[in-house]
Structure formats: structure tokens, C-alpha cells
Amino acid sequence: MPNGLATLALAVWPLVTVFLFLRLPPGRAVIATLLVGYLFLPEPPAGFDFPLIPPLTKHTIPALSAMVMWLVIYSANLNLFPRSPVTVGLLLLFVFSPAVTTVLNSDPIYWGEYFIQAMTLKDSLGLVVQQILLVIPFLLARRFLYRAEDQRDLLFAFMIGGLIYSLPMLLEVRLSPQLNLWVYGYYQHDFIQTIRFGGFRPMVFLYHGIWAAFFLLMALLSALALWRTKQIKSNWKLLLIAAYLLGVLILAKSLGAWLFALVLVPTFLFVGPKWQMRFAVVIASFAIAYPALKGVDLVPQGKILWAADSISPDRAASLSFRFENENLLLDRAKERPLFGWGSYNRNQIIDPASGEVETVTDGRWVILIGQFGWLGFLAEFSLLVMPVLFLWREIRYRAPEDYSPLIVPLSLILAVNVFDMLPNATLTPLTWLMAGALTGYAESLRQSRDAYQSRHRLQWRPVL
């Protein structure tokens, strides 16, 4: 169980947030409080469990603290909701559809002699609050990270965060993941899952080694993006940083992050921004279409398993296990397709003889469809991928010098993060932060386009 230091770190973080907002520009304060909190605060079960609301943890305390500072310092210009009616509709669906889920799941579920409790109005309130807490980083980033210089700050923060985090990661590669135990008094995940390829994969203070490796991938891609767009005078230093981060990523022993790096590093180095943006659109579109493709048997599971087996039989067996569970959980979700089964493992399959949960939910998408139905899935994934699609629509009407060059690599990093939510539940505050920043910038581009068309009464054509 978490020790006193874990509780203290979470309790004092609002004070850290106040300090950051008083000393830094608002955009940098938002980045700092969310990024540092995500990297160094203790994972659940560390948190505060108050009545009627979800537990407050490292994923919500920094965002909630930053939101309070926003309301206190910038109350005269809140600018809370996005300009796009589509985005506002998705936000409302994201926040309030779980309330409908609760109403439609007011019946207990029986598995032999065992049953799972019905959902209540208390659950409805808790789920709505949970959704609000989850989406706060999106709203913060849209408000304070919508400019080109904010995107630069965000990518630099990812890169510097990766450099700092690489040191404890290398320590855990050598000694095994122990830092969370030494500092906060508990293991945040099963230790057996840290053993890979004859060594250890680090976790530091994150939920799992997959999360740590993916953040390092984000740092690596950020360094390459800054190098490609020549953001500092001694540009070669960024390439050295990228090479170092790539070496640490290899030592992190996460096959998924390795495969992403294998594709994305050459893309960032050699592919032009227009094609990078097209690639981001393809990845984001596939991520949101995957469940539907899976439901009609258009995902080539056999070929994917064959390719995985050629790399590692153990990884192929793990992937096969995930596919089998996804199929079972999708069949379960079809019984309540629109709003899902709700909480308390109602979306899972239970052994009627023992009462034990038989299925495992790994991917974020299958969790969402099972708990909140297709509408809940579409609301969350659409909020994350729509910024990429909006930006693609806007930059098609512009020459490269007419928009920030950093939105392209940031869009690609976000698209890959959403894609990674298919096999894993790697939704983090940083995911929402990128989506919100890109949404804000897309709105500014759309506003300038509308103003130009209004002044000149022209219809723009794409720059191909």
C-alpha cells in the first residue's frame, strides 16, 4: 500500500500548481503541472477517495488544480468551450452519456449463483464527475496552448522530460523497477511483467513499462521534430539528444514502442510535412475505425499473429490472448451496444461457478465500448482524433510558411498515441494535452480563414 510520502506528494501538488501559475506564463504552467505530476506523482491506488466522486489521483489532481487557477486568475476571459459545434457536441456526449448508461443499467446481472449490483444515481454523478476530470487537460490546452510558441514549449517539455526520465529508467534497467517501491512504498504493477528479453523494462513512477516506453518515444519524436524544424541555433545537439533517447528506448524493451520508432523515426527524418500529415490522418482514421473493422472480421488477425511470432513467440502468444479477449468482450458489448454495461465489471464475463472475472480488458477502445457503448467510444476517440482532421482540412488551404511547422509532428505523435490505445489503455493527461493544443490551433486557423474569406469574398482552393 502507498506510504505517507505518496499521500503527501498528492496533497501538496495543488500548492505546487499555485507556485507554477504565479511564476510562469499560463501555457508553461499548465504543461509543467500536468507533465511533472504525470511523471513523478504516485500511481493509483495512491489517491483520495471522497464520497460521491471518483478517487482523486495523479491523473486528476494536477488538472483540477490548474483548472482552479484558471478560474481564479483568468475568470474575466474564460473562453471555456470550443468554437466548433461538433467538438462541443462531442464534449457533451463524452461527459453526460455515462448518466444514460447508469439509467439503462439499473438491473443486477446474474451469473449462476453470483450477481453484479445494479447501478444507481450515485454512480451516475460519479461517472459524470469522472468524465469532467478526464477532459480538463483538453480544455486547459485549448485555452492556453493554441499558439505556435506553445507547441514549441510542449515539444521541448516532452524532450526535456524524456531526458530527465531516462536517468531513473536506466537505473531500473540495471537494478529492476524498484523506484516506486523505494519512494512510495509499493509496486504499481505486477513485477513479472517487467521482465522482458532477458532483462528488465523500467516503469519508474508510471503505471507500466509500456507507459514509460511510450513517453520516451514521445520525447524522441519531439527531439526529431525540433531538429527538423530548426528550433535552436546549435541544431546538431537535438540530433544527438534524439540518438541518446533512441538508445534508451531500445533498452526499455517494449516491442510496441520499438515498432513505432522503426516506422516513425525515418518518417520524421526524411518525409515531408504534407505526407507526414497525411500519415497522421490515416493512423487516426484507422484507430477510430478499428472496432468497426474488428466487428465485421476485416482485421487480419492471423497475419498479424504470424508477423508477431516471427519477432517473438512470447509476444505473439500475448497478442493472441488479447485478440481472444477482445472477441469475447465485443460479443458481450453487442448485448447493450449504444450505452454499454456501466461499471462494476458488468461488461466482463464472469465464471458462474467461482464468480471470478474470466476476461481481460487491455485496449482502451474495448473498455469504452463495454462500459459506455459505441457512443461513449465515439465521443472519446473523436475528441482525440478530430484535431488532426481539422488541421488537415485547414493546412490544405495554405502554403507551408502560413502555418506552424510543429503542428504536423505533434499531430503525428497524437495519432500514434490514439493508435496505441487499441492494444493498450495508454490514455494519459498528455494525450488530452496534445489534443487540446491542436484543437485550439485549428480554431485559430479556421478563424483566420473565415476572416480572409469574409474580407475578400473568395473561395479558397487546396494547395496540393
142-190 tens-digit pLDDT: 999 999 999 999 999 999 999 999 999 999 999 999 999 999 999 888 8
Amino acid letter for position 42: P
Domain stop point among 236, 270, 304: 270
E-assigned strands of 210-258? none
The answer on 460 and 321 residing in a single domain is: yes
Final residue in a domain of this structure, among 48, 78, 108? 78
In a domain, residue 346? The reply is yes
* Position 282 in a domain: no
**Shared-domain flag, residues 264 and 374:** no
Q: How confident is the model at residue 464 (pLDDT cuts 50, 70, 90)?
A: very low
- Give the pLDDT of residue 414: 97
Domain assignment present for 275: no
Q: Tens digits of per-residue pLDDT, 366-380? A: 999 999 999 999 999
Q: Are 57 and 44 in contact (CB under 8 A)?
A: yes
Closest CA relative to residue 287, chosen from 411, 155, 145: 411
Q: What angle do CA 315, 280, 34 make, to 5 degrees?
A: 80
Q: Per-residue pLDDT for 40 more than 90?
A: yes
Q: Are residues 39 and 101 in the same domain?
A: no
Question: Is residue 334 located within the same domain as residue 428?
Answer: yes
Residues 452 and 342 grouped into a single domain: yes
Within this chain, do residues 236 and 379 fall inside the same structural domain, yes or no?
Answer: no
Lowest mean pLDDT among 238-247, 293-302, 311-320, 411-420: 311-320
Beta bridge partners of 350: 357
Is pLDDT of 462 > 60? no
Give the pLDDT of residue 313. 79
Query: Across residues 43-49, what is the average pLDDT?
Result: 91
Segment among 76-85, 382-391, 394-403, 443-452 with least mean pLDDT: 443-452
Number of structural domains (the chain) is: 3
CB-based contact 156:130 (threshold 8 Å): no
Same domain assignment for residues 262 and 398? no
Q: pLDDT tens, 409-451?
A: 999 999 999 999 998 999 999 999 999 999 999 998 888 776 6
pLDDT of residue 459: 55
pLDDT band, very low/low/confident/very high, at 316 (cuts 50, 70, 90): confident
Q: Are residues 244 and 349 in the same domain?
A: no
Q: Are residues 351 and 417 in the same domain?
A: yes
Q: Residue 458's pLDDT is what?
A: 54
CA 146 – CA 237 distance, rounded (Å): 27
User: What's the whole-number mean pLDDT along residues 242-254?
Assistant: 95
Percentage of the chain modeled with pLDDT above 70? 97
In a domain, 276, yes or no: no
Across the chain, mean pLDDT equals: 91
Residue 177, in any domain of the structure:
yes
Last-in-domain residue among 270, 301, 325: 270
Same domain for 151 and 137 = no
- pLDDT at position 78 is 77
Is the same domain home to 375 and 432?
Answer: yes
**What is the domain extent for residue 235?**
145-270
pLDDT at 29 over 90: yes
Q: Identify whether the C-beta of residue 34 lies closer than 8 Å to the C-beta of residue 17.
A: no
Give the position of cell 466487428: 295
Look at residues 127, 126, 31, 131 and name the one whose alpha carbon lies nearest to residue 90.
131
Tens of pLDDT, residues 63-102: 999 999 999 988 777 778 898 899 999 999 999 999 999 9
CB–CB of 438/389 below 8 Å?
Answer: no
Range ranked top by mean pLDDT from 239-243, 326-330, 350-354: 239-243
Is 155 inside a domain boundary? Answer: yes
In this prediction, residue 457 carries a pLDDT of 58
Cβ contact 377:291 at 8 Å: yes
pLDDT score of 205 more than 90? yes
pLDDT band at 8 (very low <50, low <70, confident <90, very high): very high
Residue whose grid cell is 454495461: 341
Cβ–Cβ < 8 Å for 20, 29? yes
Please report which residue ranges of 334-428 form alpha helices under DSSP H. 364-395, 407-420
- The C-alpha cell 504534407 sits at 274
The answer on 338 and 432 residing in a single domain is: yes
Domain assignment present for 283:
no
Q: Is residue 206 part of a domain?
A: yes
Q: What is the pLDDT of residue 463?
A: 47
